[in-house]
Amino acid sequence: MNDYNIEIDCILSHCPFHGRRVVPPWGNESARIVLVGVSPGAEEEKRSRPFVGGTGKTIKDLARRANLTWDRFFITNAVKCRINRGVDGESEISRAMDCCKGYLDHALLSIKPAVIVTWGERAFRQVMGVSGETVETGSGVWSETYACKVMPLFKSDDELNDPDAASRMEAVFRIAASIAGPGKEKQ
């Protein structure tokens, strides 16, 4: 497991978020399951680690209920620095996602996971390289680029409080665990 405790800033001068604090990926670099979110939140930015805030706690609980431990994951985001919701415009977000795509591709091609779980529609579209395509939570699609299944988790505040939606999201982690195999990560 890597345990980054560093502060880095975006070095891509053409990125609209240039100069913001970057949250590096974290986790088992031999993982068969990769979790991709959209962008870090305030807590993630503060601690320089993805999925340590409220959403991370929710996902960790869903994974635990599917008998998955955090050490089975490599965790990253589609955008490496925080999107300021309500402040950053769609054009800026799209350009930042374009700038970060190479980092995401490099990580996913290096890790070679058996399955990628995406948290949020933007993360799914970034991984799949499509715009406008949607897949229901619990379904999955094959990625030719990464030679693995991509399982989307689309979330909203309402879904997180809906027991049926939580069950569907937990099922995604169960399917991911099944695809990834019995916990012996790649050697």
Q: What is the rounded CA–CA span in Å between residue 87 and residue 187?
A: 44
SS3 call for 111 = helix
Q: What is the rounded CA–CA span in Å between residue 131 and residue 170?
A: 26
**What's the average model confidence in pLDDT over 82-96?**
91
Contact 63, 174 (CB under 8 A): no
Q: Name, in order, each residue with C-beta under 8 angstroms of 18's C-beta and a sequence gap of 6 or more.
A: 10, 11, 12
Asked whether residue 96 is assigned to any structural domain, the reply reads yes
Task: Find the length of the chain.
Answer: 187
Residue 5 has pLDDT above 50, yes or no: no
**Domains contained in the chain, number:** 1
Asked whether residue 51 is assigned to any structural domain, the reply reads yes
Residue 26 has pLDDT above 90, yes or no: yes
Domain range enclosing 87: 8-180
Asked whether residue 1 is assigned to any structural domain, the reply reads no
Asked whether residue 187 is assigned to any structural domain, the reply reads no
Per-residue pLDDT band for 6 (boundaries 50, 70, 90) equals very low
- What does pTM read for this prediction? 0.88
β partners of residue 11: none
SS3 call for 2 = strand
Domain harbouring 110, CATH code: 3.40.470.10
- List C-alpha distances in Å: 176 to 57, 124, 167: 18, 15, 14
